[in-house]
Structure formats: C-alpha cells, structure tokens
C-alpha cells in the first residue's frame, strides 16, 4: 500500500472509502484530455447533490484524527461550510467535512474563493485528485492551507503517488483565515500554474512532474495528531470551527471566461 507522505491530504486507504468511491464513478482509464466534466460555476445558493458527493463515515488513514461526517457539510447564506468539531464518530474523537465532485475534470482552470481555518494540526484544502479507489494512478494538484500558519498556502502536485512538486508556501495577503481569497490553478498538458488572488505564485513544466489523469475536485477541512513535522502539533480548537467557500469553478480549455473575477478573464486579456 502507499506510504503516507506528509504533503498529501487525499490518500483514500480504507475499505469503506474504496467501496463508496467505486460506486460513484466507472473504473475505465481516463486521461486528462478525455475528461467528461464540463465547465461550471457553483455559487452555493444550494448544495447541488448532482454535482457533489459528501464524504461520510470514514477517514483517510491513521494520520487523520477525524471522521468525515455529512453533518459537517452545509450551505448557508450562499456559502459552503465545512466543519471540524470534537465528537466521537467511527473510532475518531473529531468529525470533519469534505465534498468531492462526482464528475472527473481534465485540463483546464480550477478556481475557488474560500476562507480557511487557523489552528495547528488543521488543513483546509482545495485540490484535484484521482487514485487507486477509482482504479487509477494517484494524480493530484493541491492548494492546502496549514492552520499552523494561515498567512501562507502550500501548492504541490503528485504523479503516480509521488510528491513531485515544490511544495512551495505562497503568501496569502492578509491571511487565508481572515478573509476570502481566490485560489486558481491552470492545468495544461505541458504546464501547471498556481495563482493566489490573481498573482502567479508557482508553476511546473517538467513533463515527468505533470499529472495526466482526469480527476475529481475536492474541498475539505481535516486534522492530524501525527503529521506534526508538516501540519504542526494538533491543538484542539476548543469549539467547532468552519472553513467557508463562496465559489468554485472549472473552465475547460478554450471555453469563455465564466465570471468577471476569474483568472481566465485576466489571462485572456493578457494581464497575467
């Protein structure tokens, strides 16, 4: 089985997750140039169950100190809310929230506007992922706010279960936990580019370090007692905490810009 690497937030190792994920999607191979997912914008006026699957009843491995709970996922006032709270559930003493798309998405632009959670040992994530639970190689592209220092966001990528990116920590002006910020990555066959509030913060161009399999989109908040060298020593927040998402979108290559704040608009205008 895969060795857990500390930069990774998306290792689905338990049999419960395996069965649930297998029920969602077909098993055939699907490269990033053949993905079925179409362009969309979700402003969360409701929780679209046709688009989103809510993780519930398992954790991603021994490194995770919370169990995914559907009760930690809600939509209120035009925002997706992902919670983390102290509660015994399925052999863990905390619960946490995650959603994942039912469709797989390939090359294109992935964007989120979100407010992360502060707290050592907590992780607020926006990423694409596919892996063994979908009978695919493990490919992944990440934005992860480590609550021990929410002034920054970590960007990274995985190819065939190996961390091959820079794991760079990029500054988030004003702090990822203090306000909503825009995070985007543009995934192309020969390049990945990561943007924070419309500013390019990292890119990858080595062909051996670029994911190539169509992936699902994930939004999550979770914690760990054991990944201290990466996430810091876990400190119980003492009360429920919530990450919030105002918007998430995917724009396929050559499709028009879908909303004025999109990085796609800026790139088409040649401002980045």
Q: Mind telling me the catalytic residues?
A: 140, 144
Q: Are 95 and 85 in contact (CB under 8 A)?
A: yes
The DSSP line for 97-135 is EEEEESS-B-SEEEEEEEE----TTEEEEEEEEE-GGGT
Q: Are 254 and 90 in contact (CB under 8 A)?
A: no
Which residue, among 2, 33, 6, has the nearest Cα to 18 in the 3D structure?
2
User: What phi-psi label fits residue 171: left (phi over 0), alpha (psi between -120 and 50 degrees) or beta?
Assistant: beta
Q: Are 230 and 154 in contact (CB under 8 A)?
A: no
**H or E stretch covering 247:** strand 241-251
Q: Are 109 and 259 in contact (CB under 8 A)?
A: no
Q: Residues with Cβ < 8 Å from 56, sequence gap 6 or more?
A: 68, 69, 70
Give the chain's end-to-end CA distance (angstroms, integer): 41
């Amino acid at each position: 089985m895969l060795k857990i690497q500390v930069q990774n937030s998306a290792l689905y190792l338990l049999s419960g997750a395996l069965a649930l994920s297998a029920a969602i999607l077909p098993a055939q191979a699907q490269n990033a140039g053949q993905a079925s997912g179409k362009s969309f914008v979700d402003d969360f006026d409701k929780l679209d169950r046709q688009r989103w699957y809510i993780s519930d009843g398992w954790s991603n491995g021994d490194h995770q100190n919370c169990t995914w709970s559907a009760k930690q996922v809600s939509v209120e006032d035009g925002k997706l809310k992902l919670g983390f709270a102290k509660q015994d559930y399925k052999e863990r003493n905390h619960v946490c929230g995650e959603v994942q798309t039912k469709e797989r998405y390939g090359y294109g632009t992935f964007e989120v506007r979100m407010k992360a959670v502060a707290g050592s040992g907590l992780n607020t994530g926006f990423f694409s992922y596919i892996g063994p639970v979908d009978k695919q190689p493990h490919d992944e592209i990440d934005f992860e706010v480590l609550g021990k220092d929410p002034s920054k966001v970590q960007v990274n990528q995985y190819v065939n279960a190996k961390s091959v990116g820079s794991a760079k920590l990029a500054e988030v002006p004003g702090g990822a936990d203090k306000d909503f910020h825009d995070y985007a990555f543009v995934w192309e066959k020969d390049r990945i580019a990561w943007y924070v509030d419309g500013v390019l913060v990292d890119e990858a161009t080595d062909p051996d370090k670029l994911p190539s399999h169509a992936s699902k989109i994930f939004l999550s908040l979770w914690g760990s007692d054991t990944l201290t060298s990466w996430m810091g020593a876990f400190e119980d927040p003492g009360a429920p905490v919530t990450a919030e998402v105002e918007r998430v979108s995917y724009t396929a290559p050559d499709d028009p810009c879908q909303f004025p704040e999109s990085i796609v608009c800026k790139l088409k205008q040649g401002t980045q």
